[in-house]
Structure 1
Amino acid sequence: MEQVRIGIIGMGNMGSSHAKNIFDGHIKGAILTAICDERQDRIQWAENMFGNKVQCFNSYDDFFANADIDGVIIATPHYDHPPLAIKAFKRGLHVLSEKPAGVYTKNVREMNEAAVESGKVFGMMFNQRTNPLYQKVRELISSGELGEIKRTNWIITDWYRSQSYYDSGGWRATWSGEGGGVMLNQSPHQLDLWQWTTGLMPKRVRAFSGFGKYHDIEVEDDVTAYVEYENGATGVFITSTGEAPGTNRFEIVGDCGKLVVEDHKLTFSRLRQSEREFNRTYKGGFGEPECWKIDIPIHGKTTEHIGIMNNWVDAILHGAELLAPGEEGIKSLAISNAVYLSSWTDDWVEMPIDEDLYYEKLQEKIEQSTFKKEDNNDITLNVSGTH
């Protein structure tokens, strides 16, 4: 194969952006051959934009049966990601899915199993992994320079949204339309980076969520989650769409210092002696290890979605290592599912979570939801990335 023929499902903001990038030649070794969307106005947009060079379908079944493609990019509502990916794998197609991987881990696990069985290249659109700043954070931790992690803390509250934003679509901020609020819509990138940079997954979670705390919505718009890790470290994740001005500050404290990401900068407060060693050997009473504050230089630039698509195509054509393997999408989703379950049950949640219990609780929320898909045809505008 010298070129990957790509079809895109979902022509909302992100899907149409991906389509234009491929069509305009920004993805080396890729050609856009088909698109699919259930909304006729989006089909018309694609026909006007791409002419007769791209096949257009308004039916998923028709698309999978007749599109001239080697791989698909899924940019649909959250709930549709796993079932569409599974269909694609059964057709022998490579898959790149927008985030989140899905709404609940139970069917995302089925998607991962289908991916492995197919042997096809499966990527997730975690475009923030292309950011050299977070790559440097991961490098400093994985190399051991920070030492064993003691604490993580991410405050990400600069997602402010007005009531008019939520009122712009009947599906927005509903359990049946989106499957969640700020944890599932705005924060998946940070949840992914939280575990990707540190290499840690929580062993248990205790969370407190405000459902409609600052807005007239049924899902959460404010979350404080406390987690514990296997090595004894702890973490806190705070997010909200109801604070102005907001904060975006990520701290990781290790035995050999502290990393802080804020204002697009990385600072390393580096200890000349590990804290644990200093604690054991220092005899002077008051005192602490000598610390150097270093502004870490960041080289390169974030390639965002184009970078992830190029990497995915390179993996298909040349066997390149994926920066964001699709199977890893379940990790950040598992954290958000644990946060919801803890908030709903008002109790600790051990990980891995009880997936059947989570699914049961989610179905209860969906049944009570104000949005019914059959009553509103604008659900396809709920495209991952259109936050």
Structure 2
Amino acid sequence: MEKVRFGIIGVGNIGTVHARYLLAGQVEGASLAAVCDHNPDKHAVIRRLTGDGVPLFNNAQEMIDSGLIDAVIVATPHYDHPTLSMMAMRAGIHTLCEKPAGVYTAQVQEMNACARECDVQFGIMYNQRPNPLYQKVKDLIDSGELGEIRRSNWIITNWYRSQSYYNSGGWRATWKGEGGGVLLNQDPHQLDLWQWLVGMPVRLRAFCQFGKHRDIEVEDEVTAYAEYANGATGVFITTVAETPGTNRLEIVGSRGKVVVEEGQLRFWRLRESETEFNARWQNGFGEPECWEVSIPCAPECSDHQVITANFTAAILRGEPLIAPGCEGIRGLTLSNAMHLSTWTDDWVDLPFDEQRYYELLHQRIAESVEKPAVSRTLDASGSW
């Protein structure tokens, strides 16, 4: 294979973003070979985007069986991700799925098993992983520069979404249509990065507010506290109703502190570890000598095509995936656990009771109210 022929299932906000860079030839070794959207009312707009040279389907199975594509990008509402992804995998089609991979963890386990059985590449569109800022933070942690991780805090409140955003699709912000709110729609990137950088906690306690600031069923504000096996702690705070918002990640280790905020990385390094200093210091007041170190780092980048380019290289040359499907379950585990903690008003140990979560989720799905909405494709350019 010299070039990977991509199909896109779901040409809405983010599907349109993927179509544009593929049509522009911005991914070496890849082309847009077909698109699919089951809503015929959108086909005229899609055709204006793609032109007449790209076949347009209204049935995913027909596109998958057409012989026109080698790989697919699944960019539909969340509940359809597992079904459509596995449909493609079983046809031998390499599958790149938008985040989140599924609404609950059991779905993602099934997806991973299917990818192994079908021997296809399976990736998640975690386009924040290749961001040089977070790549550098991971390097500082993995190399031991920060020492043992003691605390992490992520305040991610710059996800401002107006009521008109939620009114742009009947599926949005409902238990039946989306399976969650800010944790499932906006925060999968940060939840993935959080566990990618500092690992998975052993238990957490969360407080989700449902429809606090918006006329929606699902969570629009969350505060969560996590505990780790080594005694470290973490706090995750998010909302869609705060402006101006904040995006600040702070990680503290025994040898220093790193902060990512406003597209900048700052690193404070202790000349000796806090553990060693504390063991030898006998003068009461005092603290280890600390240096703020300038860290070379490429400009911030979160383009979706970076993940697609990596996925293409994995198909063509066997390069390792930046965001393999087998890791898509971890961030989802955190969001599921946060829901479960709130619903049960209790701590949740990890791994958590997936069956209990499934039962409580489906109670909410059964009570979910259909909302009238006129489907609109919004401009998602520049979004995460």
Cα distance, 1:205 vs structure 2: 1.1
Q: CA deviation at 1:326?
A: 1.7
Shift of 1:113: 0.8
RMSD: 2.1
- 1:164-243 matches, within 5 Å, as 164-198=164-198, 200-243=199-242
Matches within 5 A, 1:194-343: 194-198=194-198, 200-302=199-301, 304-343=303-342
Q: Which runs of 5+ in 1 are unaligned?
A: none
Aligned to 2:37: 37
Q: Do residues 76 (structure 1) and 63 (structure 2) align?
A: no
Does the alignment pair 1:24 with 2:63?
Answer: no
- Give 1:171 shift: 2.3
Aligned partner letter, 2:261: E
Q: Which whole-Å CA distance do the structure 1 matches of 2:318 and 2:74 have between them?
A: 21
- 1:286 is paired with a residue of what secondary structure? coil
State the match for 1:90 in structure 2: 90
Q: CA deviation at 1:91?
A: 0.5
1:303: how far off?
A: 5.2
3-state SS in 2 of match to 1:222: strand
Change (3 A) 1:209 1:382: farther
The Cα of 1:182 is off from its aligned counterpart by 1.0
SS in 2 for 1:137: helix
Equivalents in 2 of 1:234, 1:39: separation in Å?
46
Superposition TM-score, scaled by structure 1 size: 0.94
1:83 maps to a residue whose letter is T
Q: 2-side partners of 1:226 and 1:239: how far apart?
A: 12
Counterpart-to-counterpart distance in 2, 1:294 and 1:110:
45
Q: Which is worse superposed, 74-83 or 158-167?
A: 158-167
The alpha-carbon deviation at position 240 of structure 1 amounts to: 1.0
Q: CA deviation at 1:67?
A: 4.5
Q: Is the 8 A contact 1:64 1:91 kept in 2?
A: yes
Is the 1:7–1:67 Cα contact (8 Å) retained in structure 2? no
1:216 CA displacement: 2.0
Q: Distance in 1 between matches of 2:146 and 2:51?
A: 54
Q: Does 1 or 2 have the higher relative contact order (CA < 8 Å, sep 6+)?
A: 1
Q: CA deviation at 1:230?
A: 1.3
Q: Calculate the TM-score normalised by the size of structure 2.
A: 0.95
Alignment-derived partner of residue 370 in structure 2:
371
1:50 counterpart residue number? 50
Give the SS at the match of 1:316. helix
In the TM superposition, what whole-angstrom CA distance separates every residue of 1:351-371 from its partner, at most 9, and x where no partner exists? 111111111111011111112
Give the whole-Å Cα distance in 2 for the aligned partners of 1:172 and 1:5: 30
User: What amino acid sits opposite 2:273 in the alignment?
Assistant: S
- 2:173 touches 2:181 (CA, 8 Å); kept in 1? yes
The residue that corresponds to 2:13 in the other structure is: 13
Counterpart residue identity of residue 103, structure 1: V
User: What per-residue deviation string (whole Å, max 9, x for no partner) do you get for residues 136-177 of structure 1?
Assistant: 000000001100100111011122223333333332211111
Partner SS, residue 184 of structure 1? helix
| C-alpha spacing 1:369/1:9, structure 2 compared with 1 (3 Å) | same
Query: After alignment, is 337-346 or 7-16 more displaced?
Result: 7-16
Q: Which amino acid aligns with 1:337?
A: N
Give the residue type in structure 2 aligned to 1:364. Q
- CA-CA distance at 1:381 after TM superposition: 8.3
* CA distance in 1 between partners of 2:24 and 2:163 (Å): 36
Per-residue CA deviation, residues 57-110 of structure 1 (Å, 9 max, x unaligned), is 101222222241111010000111111111111111101111111111111110
Q: How many residues align?
A: 384
Offset at residue 281 of structure 1 (A): 1.2
Are the equivalent residues in 2 in contact too, given 1:252–1:260 (CA < 8 A)?
Answer: yes
SS at structure 1 position matched to 2:79? helix
Secondary structure at the aligned position of 2:128 is classed as helix
Please say if residues 174 and 369 of structure 1, whose CA atoms lie closer than 8 Å, have aligned partners that are also in contact.
yes
Q: Give the whole-Å Cα distance in 2 for the aligned partners of 1:166 and 1:9.
A: 21
> Do the aligned residues in 2 keep the contact of 1:76 with 1:382 (CA within 8 Å)?
no
CA distance in structure 1 between the partners assigned to 2:145 and 2:376 by the alignment: 47
Identity of aligned residues (%): 58
Amino acid corresponding to residue 231 of structure 1 in structure 2: N
- SS in structure 2 of the partner of residue 73 of structure 1: strand
Q: Which amino acid aligns with 2:108?
A: V
1:233-286: CA deviation from partner (whole Å, max 9, x where unpaired): 110001112222222111101010111111111111110010011111111111
Alpha carbons 2:6, 2:69 under 8 Å: kept? yes
State the secondary structure of the residue aligned to 1:129.
coil
Distance 1:259 1:57 in 2: 48
Unpaired segments of 5 or more residues in structure 2?
none
